Structure 1
Amino acid sequence: MPSAAGQGQPEAPPCGSACSSAWRSSARRAPASATSTPGGAGRGPGSCRPPRPPPRTGTSPSTSSGPWWPPTPSRNIFFSPLSISMPLAMVSLGARASTKAQILEALGLGAQGGPEEDALHQGFRRLLQGLRRPPEDPQLSLGSALFVRPAVRVRDAFLSAMRTLYLADAVPTNFEDPAAAQKQINDYVAKQTEGRIVDLVKDLDSSEVMVMVSYIFFKAKWETRFDPQSTRKQDFHVTPETVVQVPMMRREDEFDYLLDRSLSCRVVGLPYQGNATALFVLPSEGRMEKAEAGLDQQTLTKWLKKLTKRKLQLYLPKFSIEGSYQLEKILPTLGIRDLFTSRADLAGFTNHSNIQVSQMVHKAVVEVDESGTQAGRSHGRGVCIQVGPMGSQMIVFNRPFLMAIVNAEGVLFLGKVTRPAGGHSS
Structure 2
Amino acid sequence: MPLFLFLCLVLLSPPGASLYRHHSREMKNRVKDLHVGDMVAPRNRKDFTFDLYRALAATAPSQNVFFSPVSVSMSLAMLSLGARSSTKTQILEGLGLNLQEGSEEELHRGFQELLQELSQPRDGFQLSLGNALFTDPVVDMRDTFMNAMKTMYLADTFPTNFNDSVGALKQINDYVSKQTKGKIVDLLKDLDSNAVMVMVNYIFFKAKWETSFNHKDTQEQDFYVTSETVVRVPMMSHEDHYHYFLDRNLSCRVVGVPYQGNATALFVLPSEGKMQQVENGLSEKTLRKWFKMFRKRQLELYLPKFSIEGSYQLEKVLPKLGISDVFTSHADLSGISNHSNIQVSEMVHKAVVEVDESGTRAAAAVGTIFMYRCSLTVHCVPGTVPSAEEKQRKQKSLPL
Any conservation in 1 of the 2:47–2:284 contact (CA below 8 Å)? no
1:317 and 2:304 aligned? yes
**Superposition pairs for residues 131-280 of structure 1, below 5 Å?**
131-134=118-121, 136-240=123-227, 242-280=229-267
Any conservation in 2 of the 1:175–1:208 contact (CA below 8 Å)? yes
Give the partner amino acid of 1:26: P
Give the aligned partner of residue 15 of structure 2. 26
Deviation at 1:211, TM superposition (A): 3.3
Cα distance in 1, alignment partners of residues 133 and 323 from structure 2? 18
After superposition, the Cα gap between the structure-2 partners of 1:357 and 1:221, relative to the gap in structure 1 and judged at 3 Å, is same
Any conservation in 2 of the 1:211–1:360 contact (CA below 8 Å)? no
Larger radius of gyration: 2
Cα distance in 2, alignment partners of residues 57 and 208 from structure 1? 31
Question: Does the residue aligned with 1:358 lie in a helix, a strand or coil?
Answer: strand
Question: Does the residue aligned with 1:167 lie in a helix, a strand or coil?
Answer: coil
Question: Does the residue aligned with 2:296 lie in a helix, a strand or coil?
Answer: strand
TM-score, normalised relative to structure 2: 0.74
Give the partner amino acid of 1:105: E
Q: Which of the numbers 325, 330, 337 marks the counterpart of 1:350? A: 337
Deviation at 1:314, TM superposition (A): 0.7
Cα distance in 2, alignment partners of residues 92 and 57 from structure 1? 15
Give the aligned partner of residue 46 of structure 1. none
Deviation at 1:68, TM superposition (A): 4.3
After superposition, the Cα gap between the structure-2 partners of 1:178 and 1:245, relative to the gap in structure 1 and judged at 3 Å, is farther
RMSD of aligned alpha carbons: 3.3
Give the partner amino acid of 2:170: K
1:89 and 2:77 aligned? yes
Give the partner amino acid of 2:165: P
Cα distance in 2, alignment partners of residues 179 and 209 from structure 1? 14
Give the aligned partner of residue 306 of structure 1. 293
Any conservation in 1 of the 2:42–2:111 contact (CA below 8 Å)? no
Give the aligned partner of residue 382 of structure 2. none
Any conservation in 2 of the 1:145–1:212 contact (CA below 8 Å)? yes
Any conservation in 1 of the 2:49–2:69 contact (CA below 8 Å)? no
Give the aligned partner of residue 417 of structure 1. none
Cα distance in 2, alignment partners of residues 146 and 328 from structure 1? 19
Cα distance in 1, alignment partners of residues 238 and 47 from structure 2? 38
Deviations 1:135-188 (A, max 9, x none): 543212323333334432212221111011111144343344433332222111
Question: Does the residue aligned with 1:108 lie in a helix, a strand or coil?
Answer: coil
After superposition, the Cα gap between the structure-2 partners of 1:135 and 1:306, relative to the gap in structure 1 and judged at 3 Å, is closer
Any conservation in 1 of the 2:308–2:353 contact (CA below 8 Å)? yes
Give the aligned partner of residue 100 of structure 1. 88
Deviation at 1:53, TM superposition (A): 8.2
Structure 2's unaligned 5+ residue stretches are 1-7, 18-35, 365-400
Deviation at 1:25, TM superposition (A): 4.3
Deviation at 1:225, TM superposition (A): 1.2
1:78 and 2:66 aligned? yes
Question: Does the residue aligned with 1:285 lie in a helix, a strand or coil?
Answer: coil
Higher RCO, 1 vs 2 (CA within 8 Å, ≥6 residues apart): 1
Cα distance in 1, alignment partners of residues 189 and 62 from structure 2? 24
Give the aligned partner of residue 387 of structure 2. none
TM-score, normalised relative to structure 1: 0.70
Deviations 1:243-291 (A, max 9, x none): 4332211101111112223322221111112221111111222322222
Structure 1 consecutive aligned stretches of length 4 or more whose deviation exceeds 4 Å: 51-59, 61-68, 70-73
Question: Does the residue aligned with 2:97 lie in a helix, a strand or coil?
Answer: coil
After superposition, the Cα gap between the structure-2 partners of 1:273 and 1:57, relative to the gap in structure 1 and judged at 3 Å, is same
Cα distance in 2, alignment partners of residues 242 and 145 from structure 1? 46
Any conservation in 1 of the 2:13–2:41 contact (CA below 8 Å)? no
Q: Which of the numbers 79, 100, 107 marks the counterpart of 1:120? A: 107
Deviation at 1:74, TM superposition (A): 2.2
Give the aligned partner of residue 366 of structure 1. 353
Cα distance in 1, alignment partners of residues 180 and 50 from structure 2? 33
Cα distance in 2, alignment partners of residues 127 and 79 from structure 1? 19
Give the partner amino acid of 1:85: S
Give the partner amino acid of 1:121: H
Give the aligned partner of residue 337 of structure 1. 324
% same residue:
63
Cα distance in 2, alignment partners of residues 108 and 214 from structure 1? 20
Cα distance in 2, alignment partners of residues 238 and 142 from structure 1? 35
Give the partner amino acid of 1:205: D
Aligned residues: 335
After superposition, the Cα gap between the structure-2 partners of 1:132 and 1:54, relative to the gap in structure 1 and judged at 3 Å, is closer
